[in-house]
Each structure stands twice: as structure tokens, then as C-alpha cells.
Chain A
Amino acid sequence: DAKTTQPPSMDCAEGRAANLPCNHSTISGNEYVYWYRQIHSQGPQYIIHGLKNNETNEMASLIITEDRKSSTLILPHATLRDTAVYYCIVRGYGGSQGNLIFGKGTKLSVKP
């Protein structure tokens, strides 16, 4: 079973920030938080990951609470192309540290 809880769906206005929450209250000390997204009819796409510090890359920012029990993925300026299902996953780091187990994710709809 997935170790995370996400809202099933969210809406966001184009150009605004999209903030996608994730609860992972049972996360262990060596587990990272990963985010992937799946645009319709495509394979999942890696977005970002983090352990305890906030992370930012060209796609998004990841904010992890101090107790690491929850996190938020931020798309700073959402576009229509960001409409997708977003998956929050916790696992160890690297290819040898367990597998990606996908839950149901959050369906983000970006509206004009």
C-alpha cells in the first residue's frame, strides 16, 4: 500500500501557483519524498525529491515540514500543460532502495 495521502483532485487557475499537499506521517528517517506526474496518455515523469530540506528545480519546489510528516509540491506559475495526475511517493534513495509504489495521486486541473 502507498504510504502517502493526497487529495483526489484540485483546480488551479492558469498563471497562479499550484500547491499540492501530501501527508506521509509514517515516513522513516532514511526515506525520501518523491514527486512524479503523469500527463494523460504519457508515462510518469520525475519532478523532484527531497529528504528534509526544501528543494527547488526548474520544474517545481518541494517544501517538507520540519517533522517530515507532510510536504507540499509547488508549481509557481501553473500552465495548462501542467494538467496531470501528481503522485507523492516515499522511498529510499537510488535504484536499490526499494521501488516506486504509486498511489492514486492528485488530479490537478489547470483552468484558463
Chain B
Amino acid sequence: DAGVIQSTRHEVTEMGQEVTLRCKPISGHDYLFWYRQTMMRGLELLIYFNNNVPIDDSGMPEDRFSAKMPNASFSTLKIQPSEPRDSAVYFCASSSAGGAGYTFGSGTRLTVV
């Protein structure tokens, strides 16, 4: 198994631009999570999906953030427009309902200049 795939390790964008982060969960996992990590705030849960349906998006910081899961093998996190304070490492994770642990991707480091 290739694990959770976040194919972009580093993303640099200019303030005001739209940025889309991508994630491929482990096949067969029915939960998908998006986390953000900064030095100041640590690891924060942004949103999670169950069977492609968003269940809890209370961690999404603002309306500028949106996430979708069009099918079981793909999810996106979009920021529009991006701001410098959005600079962080964004992690995607997946798990199964009966599973013990989450499997995290390697993360995408977003820098907004």
C-alpha cells in the first residue's frame, strides 16, 4: 500500500491567489481528515469526511477555506484567496471505521508570499 498520498510537498503562491491541495487516501479507508500545523497553534483538525460526506468542518478557519471529496480516492482543500497567515503544513490522513490508527500523508508545506 502506498499510504496516504499528498503528491505536492511544497507549494508557494502569492497572496490573493487560489491554491488547491490534494490528497489520495488509502484504498478502503472511509474517513478522511485534513489537518493544519503551525508552530504557534500546533496540529489543528480542519475538517473530516466519512464516505465522502463532510461530517465536521468546525475547524475550517474562514469561508476562504473549502474542502471536497468527490469520490473515495480523492480530496481537495482549497484556499481562495490565500493570505500569508495561511502558510503552514497541511496534512491529510485517512482511517477505517474499525481501524485503530490514522495514517497521515507526508504533508504539503504551503507558503503564501
Partners in one complex: yes
* Nearest Cβ on chain B to A73's Cβ, whole angstroms: 14
Q: List residues of A (13-43) whose CB comes within 8 Å of B's CBs.
A: 34, 36, 42-43
Using CB atoms, name the residue of chain A closest to B105: A43
Among A63-71, A75-83, A89-97, the stretch that binds chain B is A89-97
Return chain A residues, CB-CB under 8 Å to B103: 46
* Nearest Cβ on chain B to A41's Cβ, whole angstroms: 8
Return chain B residues, CB-CB under 8 Å to A100: 33, 45, 93, 102
B43 touches A95 (CB 8 A): no
Return chain B residues, CB-CB under 8 Å to A95: 29-31, 50, 95-99
Return chain A residues, CB-CB under 8 Å to B29: 95
Using CB atoms, name the residue of chain A closest to B94: A95
Return chain A residues, CB-CB under 8 Å to B106: 42-43
Residue from A43, A93, A104 within 8 A of B42 (CB atoms) = A104
Q: List residues of B (1-39) whose CB comes within 8 Å of A's CBs.
A: 4, 29-31, 33, 35
Return chain B residues, CB-CB under 8 Å to A101: 45
The CA-CA distance from A42 to B85 in the complex, in Å, is: 21
Contact with B along A83-112 (1 / 0, CB 8 A): 000000000011110011111100000000
B93 touches A43 (CB 8 A): yes
Name, among B29, B30, B42, the residue most crowded by chain A CB atoms within 10 Å (CB to CB). B42
* Nearest Cβ on chain B to A67's Cβ, whole angstroms: 23
* Nearest Cβ on chain B to A83's Cβ, whole angstroms: 18
B91 touches A44 (CB 8 A): yes
The CA-CA distance from A104 to B39 in the complex, in Å, is: 10
A44 touches B104 (CB 8 A): yes
Using CB atoms, name the residue of chain A closest to B31: A95
Return chain A residues, CB-CB under 8 Å to B33: 99-100
- Known interface pairs A43-B106, A43-B107, A99-B48. Does A94 touch B99 (Cβ–Cβ under 8 Å)? yes
Ordered by A's residue number, 9 sampled pairs between the chains whose C-beta atoms are within 8 Å are A34-B100, A42-B106, A42-B107, A44-B91, A44-B93, A45-B104, A94-B95, A95-B99, A102-B35
Apart from A43-B107, A45-B104: 7 A-B pairs, beta carbons within 8 A: A34-B100, A42-B107, A44-B104, A96-B50, A99-B56, A100-B93, A101-B45
